[in-house]
Amino acid sequence: MKFGVVIFPGSNCDHDCYYAIQSVVGKPAAFIWHQETSLKGFDAIILPGGFAYGDYLRTGALAKFSPVMQAVRDFANKGGLVMGICNGFQILTEAALLPGALLKNVGRKYICKFLHIRAETTNTPFTNGLEKGQVLHIPIGHGDGNYFADEATLRELENNDQVVFRYCDAGGAVNASANPNGSLHNIAGILNAGRNVLGMMPHPDRSSEALLGSAHGKLIFESMVHALATAGR
């Protein structure tokens, strides 16, 4: 199996993702420049965090026009695993690969800190190694992480088990005080209807080893590896 990490002008977590896959999880990884138009040879794609195109206009709004995004869209439509982290999540919503939008944090401030998220489902290629309700200690670093969607979309996400992570406290309770940015329903990560595209604001790449303060992010990458191995990749 082989992972691809897309680099947009302004990406700054590309090497973090590459290291987590190549050195921590021990699987082949390669960088993909945003002007590439083919993802042949890859089994999973990661859109990393950062500030694609300087976040000009709106976070992710310019990156969605990069040539590679049509390839990512085709890859996802064929069932390929796609993961967007932070800015990558924003790009996926702008590209309509995930519903909703990421708005400015309620406090209008950039937030960079460790917090807790709760796994809401294990029925995904990204969380099959977790337990439902498991609490992960994982960092965020964003100014536009406030997940918003209309009521119909939120209802569909909830009914279809597409909410993957919610912000919670250390004991797993989901409440307003555990919500760092105002995200509706405390949403920290969601899936597409096909369950092969994940967007999440917290950074598993920044929590893949105990040396970083937590190794809980490694569980997400290991889940992807398990899903691919099960599929014969």
Residuewise pLDDT in 10s, the chain (233 residues): 999 999 999 999 999 999 999 999 999 999 999 999 999 999 999 999 999 999 988 999 999 999 999 999 999 999 999 999 999 999 999 999 999 999 999 999 999 999 999 999 999 999 999 999 999 999 999 999 999 999 999 999 999 999 999 999 999 999 999 999 999 999 999 999 999 999 999 999 999 999 999 999 999 999 999 999 998 88
The full DSSP string for 43-63 is: SEEEE--B-GGGG-SSTTTTG
Task: Map out the domains of the chain with their CATH numbers.
Answer: 3-230 (3.40.50.880)
Asked if 59 and 90 touch (Cβ cutoff 8 Å), the reply is yes
Query: Considering the entire predicted model, what is its pTM?
Result: 0.97
The confidence score (pLDDT) of residue 125 equals 98
Per-residue pLDDT at 232:
86
| CA 95/CA 113 separation, integer angstroms | 28
Q: Check residue 198 and give its pLDDT.
A: 98
In this structure, the chain runs to a length of 233
Q: Which helix (H) or strand (E) holds 148?
A: strand 146-148
| Residue 53: how many other CB atoms lie within 10 Å | 22
Q: According to the model, what pLDDT value does residue 181 have?
A: 98
pLDDT of residue 57: 87
Q: What is the DSSP string of 99-147?
A: SSEEE--TTSS-EEEEEEEEE--S-STTTTTS-TT-EEEEEEEESS-EE
- Picking from 17, 77, 88, the residue whose alpha carbon sits closest to that of residue 49 is 88
The strand order across the sheet containing 29-33 reads 29-33, 3-7, 44-47, 81-85, 197-200, 187-191, 163-168, 111-119, 135-142
